[in-house]
Chains A and B, each alone.
Chain A
Amino acid sequence: MLQHVEALEILLQGLCGVHKEHLRVHELCLKSGPNLGHVVSEVRLLCDLEHPEPWTVKHVGGALRGSGAEQLSVMVRNMVESKASKNVLRLFNVLGYKLDHELLRVGSAFHFKRGARITVTVSSINKMLKLHAIDDTVPVTLGIQVVEVTAPATSENYSEVAAAMSSFCEYLAPLLHLSKPGVSTGVVPTAAAAAASLMSDGGGTTL
């Protein structure tokens, strides 16, 4: 599997024309306390350990529903992000938000423009053995890496952005198939051969 990840990174580097960025993000998911708000609310705090300040605060809304959404090959959801100073965790604690879970995401990221501002991350998800112990983690699923492709869109252009993402994902097909979150595609039969070919080629091929 590790060989597949290296091959994927070589492929992405060739496709995007950009070098990978190291990804090491401490992600904390907070939920509102029992008496706060009419329904439970959730907020995510992200600390990029390569650049510890500022932090990122993220609110992830529900997925777009309906027949139009089902026909899209990507999930569309409302997302609001803001940078914030590093005491944001303390602020939310005082506001009555409690830590629900935390994880450490380690891997690489590629940012590029290809019909949309696309970000691809290849990362392993790790859990902490003690509270906030970012140096003492174990993988949630041993040997499995999560590949995420995301792009920002507006309510006017999301179908074009979805099309740009789908067409980009087709280039990754020999190695992996991407699906909407929560739907597993399984291992691609051609992955081993494609990885071996990419590794021997050394990434010299530009698609």
Chain B
Amino acid sequence: MLDVWLKVLHWQPNAGTTVNTQILNEVSQCVESINGVKEGRWKATLTYYKPMLRDQSQATELPRDFLGISLPEQPNKHYFIIRGPRIVLEADSSFQTIMEKLQSYKSRVALYFEGFQYQLGDFQLRVGKVTPTHSDNLRGIIMEVEYLPLSSLEKSRQVMEEFVDIWQEAISKRSLPGHFMHIEPSFVEYGLSDHYSSQHTAVQYATVMAQLIATQSVQAARN
């Protein structure tokens, strides 16, 4: 069974509420209240690509869920994901230049995940906001929990789950209008091995983004 060393969680607002900076501040304070030590800033970037079609009216089977992600822990790498057929690709950062040169897909929307990194015992937490690269509009709140087995060689899955439970309890005491959610994608469908890698993290981000978009579409429809 896959040992997950890193989980990406996202803030799921209660029905009828939206995410705001006050919630983000409360979440950051909550990390500090459980003795998380602020270490510095953190930033990941996600780009959606759209096919450049010669004839827009012509029906096409080209993917519309093609995205690229750069992660801070792998600054020279770039990850590409197509969710439909479950493809994740690890490439050098220069792959983005190749995509530009090909002139067949153009970047449609780019988002930043940015915030602060905290150290808490064997865990590293990253809490951040999701915003478009060109504005400060808050689109979501994201949290990364990474297990760094500095003192224990126990299986990470159980340790991670226990930690997330503690975290959920701590955040629930603040009576915020929503909760953190974790959706574990089917890594096997993406052809990923049992050895956790940055490709697994990239797939988690793509899954979280799909969930954020779906939630916002539902809210937009309600409004």
Q: Give Cα A41 to B51, complex, Å.
A: 13
The residues in A between 49 and 102 inclusive whose CB is less than 8 angstroms from any CB of B are 54, 57, 59, 61, 80-85, 87-88, 90-91, 94-97
Contacts of B54 in A (CB 8 A): 34-38
Given A95-B62, A95-B105, 11 extra CB contacts under 8 A: A35-B55, A43-B98, A80-B97, A80-B98, A81-B92, A82-B98, A87-B87, A87-B89, A91-B89, A94-B63, A95-B51
Give the residue name and chain of the A residue nearest to B55 (CB).
A35
What is the total number of residues of chain A having a CB less than 8 Å from a CB of chain B? 27
Contact A59 B87 (CB under 8 A): no
Contacts of B105 in A (CB 8 A): 95
Contact B52 A38 (CB under 8 A): yes
Give the residue name and chain of the A residue nearest to B191 (CB).
A87
Task: Give the number of residue pairs across the A-B interface with Cβ within 8 Å.
Answer: 90
Contact A32 B95 (CB under 8 A): no
- Report the minimal beta-carbon distance from A98 to chain B, rounded to whole angstroms: 12
Q: Give Cα A95 to B90, complex, Å.
A: 16
Give the residue name and chain of the B residue nearest to A55 (CB).
B91
A39: interface (CB < 8 Å): yes
Contacts of B103 in A (CB 8 A): 37-39, 41
Tell which of B87, B90, B102 touches A94, judged by Cβ atoms closer than 8 Å. B87
Q: Give Cα A96 to B102, complex, Å.
A: 12
Q: Give Cα A41 to B104, complex, Å.
A: 7
What is the total number of residues of chain B having a CB less than 8 Å from a CB of chain A? 31
10 A-B residue pairs with CB within 8 Å: A36-B52, A37-B104, A41-B101, A41-B104, A43-B98, A61-B101, A82-B94, A82-B98, A88-B89, A94-B85
B82: interface (CB < 8 Å): yes
- Report the minimal beta-carbon distance from A47 to chain B, rounded to whole angstroms: 14
- Report the minimal beta-carbon distance from B150 to chain A, rounded to whole angstroms: 29
Q: Mark B38-59, 1 if CB is under 8 A from A, else 0.
A: 0000000000000111110010
B66: interface (CB < 8 Å): yes
Contact B82 A91 (CB under 8 A): yes
B152: interface (CB < 8 Å): no
Contacts of A39 in B (CB 8 A): 103
Residues on A facing B (Cβ under 8 Å): 32, 34-39, 41, 43, 54, 57, 59, 61, 80-85, 87-88, 90-91, 94-97
Q: Give Cα A22 to B199, complex, Å.
A: 31
B60: interface (CB < 8 Å): yes
Q: Give Cα A34 to B61, complex, Å.
A: 12
Main secondary structure of the interface of A (DSSP, over half): mixed
B80: interface (CB < 8 Å): yes
Contacts of A87 in B (CB 8 A): 87, 89, 191
Q: Give Cα A34 to B105, complex, Å.
A: 14
Q: Give Cα A43 to B105, complex, Å.
A: 13
Contact A37 B102 (CB under 8 A): yes
Contact B80 A43 (CB under 8 A): no
Contacts of A84 in B (CB 8 A): 89-92, 95
Contacts of A38 in B (CB 8 A): 52, 54, 103
Give the residue name and chain of the B residue nearest to A86 (CB).
B89
- Report the minimal beta-carbon distance from B193 to chain A, rounded to whole angstroms: 11
Contacts of B89 in A (CB 8 A): 84-85, 87-88, 91
Contact B91 A57 (CB under 8 A): yes
Give the residue name and chain of the A residue nearest to B60 (CB).
A35
Contact A94 B82 (CB under 8 A): yes
Q: Give Cα A34 to B53, complex, Å.
A: 9
- Report the minimal beta-carbon distance from B60 to chain A, rounded to whole angstroms: 6
Contacts of B51 in A (CB 8 A): 36, 95-96
Contact A95 B58 (CB under 8 A): no
Q: Give Cα A80 to B99, complex, Å.
A: 10
Q: Give Cα A97 to B91, complex, Å.
A: 18
Contacts of A94 in B (CB 8 A): 63, 82, 84-85, 87
Q: Give Cα A37 to B84, complex, Å.
A: 21
Give the residue name and chain of the B residue nearest to A78 (CB).
B101
